[in-house]
Amino acid sequence: MTRTQPQSDSSDPADERPLAVAALVVGVGVSCALHVGKLPVAIPRLQAELALNLVQAGFLLSLVQMAGMSLGLAVGLLADRQGPRRVMLWGLCVLAAGSLLGAWAADVPALLLSRVVEGAGFLMAVLPAPGLLRMHVSNPAALSRALGWWGTYMPMGTALALLLGAPLIGWVGWRGAWALLAGISLLAAMLLWLRVPGGRASGAALPLWPRLARTLRAPGPWLVALGFLVYSGQWLAVVGFLPTIYGEAGFSPATVAVLSALAAAINMGGNIAGGRWLARGARPGLALAIGYSAMALGALVAFGVPGQPVAQYLAVLVFSALGGLIPGTLFGVAVALAPGPDTVSTTVGWMQQFSALGQFLGPPAVAWWVTQVGGWQWTWVMTGACSVLGLGLAVVLQRVWQRQTPGPAP
């Protein structure tokens, strides 16, 4: 099956370091995801110091996505016009400022506000990354693999935060951890500025509204956006509340950290596999169907089969690992199904907007549902509904993919 040929827009064609650039861009994404993953392990401290309740904790988990939920498309248009590297640098600085604001927060409203600022910086720092990769990785198969690796930035950063967050907070307190992560974001900005060429913004000379109209009239951006919506909300809700669930079950903090970090980290394998599978000509609809089915069955066993802790935890690992096929596939599909090279960041922005909407709604919705039914045992009903919708989207996306990338079936 043939693929849309990415065109390099880099202003420095002599640069021959696509793998190094890709690795650094993924590292920047991981540094941003640390700010998402720092919250779950800090919830017990925040509950003790700021009288945080469970629903407020759900909003703190998801509020970092408010900017993406409302401004993803706008930031995508900005990145296509100003260049992805420039917007990423701005975003890393805003993210650092938000984390410092949180370190000084005296109450829950101030902490919520800091998460909104962090969310704006997070969006600006990660949304343009696929467009930047497209500038510097011109080989289609290599680009699919790089985008698969890019899909690991969230589980990798979340896993590191879950694993190291508890001992770090025990050492310097949650405020010190927030300040340290602000410094990491500034370091990431410096490395990006020094090591990654900026390139030319592919949409710099093109009118904004025609590019927006082309993006929203095409079916591909809508399908990848909705696919991410039904994936992201359930993944963050399940993984984000694991420290709370296992803490309530009486596990030690060290055990909780390891179990939660592994559940997040194993998602990376699915992301990488999704990118590699797509690079080898696999059907994206099939990869997505496997991912959504695994998430539905994993959640059913994890929450609906009480009294079997080993089987339940293994089901969580299946939920996260095979669920990782979804973002790893969707990032590659989004770049290929963008209406043109000048709309890649806009398409990813639309996808990010729906992904953020899922992450914003998922944790509070699950927290509300748990309080209504009196426990976690019916969580699989909500996650299963998302997976069923995802299966339908996978079928439609496969048909659109075959129309836009004609060629023999693999």
Segment 312-370, tens digit of pLDDT: 889 999 999 999 999 989 988 888 888 887 777 788 888 888 988 888 788 888 888 88
Query: Which amino acid, one-letter code, is at 399?
Result: R
Query: Which amino acid, one-letter code, is at 347?
Result: T
374 exposure class (CB count in 10 Å sphere: 0-12, 13-18, 19+)? exposed
Instruction: Tell which wins on pLDDT, 295 or 109.
Output: 295
Q: Between the CA atoms of 23, 24, 27 and 32, what dihedral angle is there, to the nearest 10 degrees? A: -140
Nearest to 241 by CA among 172, 169, 162: 162
Secondary structure of residue 250 in the 3-state scheme: coil
Nearest to 68 by CA among 110, 105, 114, 118: 118
Is the Cβ–Cβ distance between 42 and 172 less than 8 Å?
no
Q: Measured at the alpha carbon of residue 291, what is the angle toward residues 287 and 295, in degrees to the nearest 5? A: 170
**Residue 1: other Cβ atoms inside 10 A:** 15
Token pair belonging to 198: 């900026």
Spatial CB neighbours of 207, under 8 Å, sequence gap ≥ 6: none
Structural domains of the chain ordered from first start: 18-404 (1.20.1250.20)
Say which DSSP state 343 is in. G
Measured CA to CA, the distance from residue 356 to residue 35 in angstroms comes to 15
Measured CA to CA, the distance from residue 288 to residue 38 in angstroms comes to 29
pLDDT 10s digits, 222-273: 999 999 999 998 998 888 788 777 877 788 878 888 888 888 889 888 888 8
pLDDT of residue 15 exceeding 80, the answer is: no
pLDDT of residue 410 exceeding 50, the answer is: no
Say which DSSP state 375 is in. S
Q: Which pLDDT belongs to residue 317?
A: 94
Kindly tell me the number of DSSP H helices and DSSP E strands found in the chain: 18, 0
Measured CA to CA, the distance from residue 326 to residue 355 in angstroms comes to 12
Q: Which pLDDT belongs to residue 5?
A: 41
Q: Which pLDDT belongs to residue 12?
A: 43
Q: Measured at the alpha carbon of residue 142, what is the angle toward residues 332 and 79, in degrees to the nearest 5? A: 55
pLDDT of residue 406 exceeding 70, the answer is: no
pLDDT of residue 10 exceeding 50, the answer is: no
**Ramachandran class of 88: left when φ > 0, alpha when ψ lies in -120 to 50, beta otherwise:** alpha
Is the Cβ–Cβ distance between 332 and 275 less than 8 Å?
yes
Q: To the nearest whole number, what is the mean pLDDT of the chain?
A: 84
pLDDT 10s digits, 63-91: 777 777 777 777 878 887 788 899 999 99
The band of 201, judged by pLDDT with boundaries at 50, 70 and 90, is low
pLDDT of residue 286 exceeding 90, the answer is: yes
Token pair belonging to 341: 């090279």
Nearest to 238 by CA among 386, 114, 51, 49: 386
Helix (H) / strand (E) containing 118: helix 108-126
pLDDT 10s digits, 129-179: 988 888 888 787 788 788 878 878 888 888 888 888 888 998 999 999 999
Q: Which pLDDT belongs to residue 11?
A: 41
Q: Which pLDDT belongs to residue 6?
A: 40
**Residue in the block written with tokens 């399908």:** 223
Nearest to 123 by CA among 179, 197, 81, 73: 73
Look at the chain and count its residues: 410
Sign of CA dihedral 346, 350, 351, 356: positive
Q: What is the mean pLDDT of residues 9-35?
A: 76
Nearest to 333 by CA among 295, 392, 283: 283
Measured CA to CA, the distance from residue 60 to residue 397 in angstroms comes to 33
